[in-house]
Amino acid sequence: MAAQFKFSIELPVRNEWQNVDLLRSSVQNCFSAVFRDIDGCHTVAMITGELLENAIKYGDWSHEPSLFLLRVWGDQKEAHVQVENPVKPDSPEVRELLETLEWMKGFASAEEAYRARLLQIAEKPPSEGLSKLGLVRMGYEGNCKLTAEVTPGSTLRMTAEVRL
């Protein structure tokens, strides 16, 4: 019987686009060194990249230091990927993100939510705002549970829970 193990990564990250690819690749390499399921490793890396992109796109970077926090932890059965970034709590992007997560809960499966979002995007002109397809894609392709909260300190904490 294999021994039980836990893993943990916690990094403060500079708000720079090149760091998305660096960290996506680093997480994939770390997971590939531990797990045999290459598709699962790719999934965790994809989710990491999507959460990092959201942090950079929708964060409030008007104050120094321009850092956000990446946490990845779990065991051989599940992984959690969490990104914390500063936000303006009343921003339309934060409201839309939280509304999208609530909207996703209204479907029986992540696949149904993904199909519905694709149809919504196809039916409206691109000028009508953000699609939030990345969130729905993470839920579907990553087969993960997504949660988000805005803390009293104006930090958005997004977490993806992935079965391995």
Q: Distance (Å, rounded) from C-alpha 143 to C-alpha 110? A: 7
Residuewise pLDDT in 10s, the chain (164 residues): 456 899 999 999 999 999 999 999 999 999 999 999 999 999 999 999 999 999 999 999 998 888 999 999 999 999 999 999 999 988 999 999 999 999 999 999 999 999 999 998 888 876 676 567 889 999 999 999 999 999 998 999 999 999 99
Sorted by where each begins, the domain ranges of the chain are 10-163
Residue 72, judged by CB atoms within 10 A of its CB (0-12, 13-18, 19+), counts as buried
CATH value of 10-163 in 3.40.50.720, 3.30.565.10, 3.40.50.300, 3.40.220.10: 3.30.565.10
**Count, residues in the chain:** 164
pTM score of the predicted model: 0.92
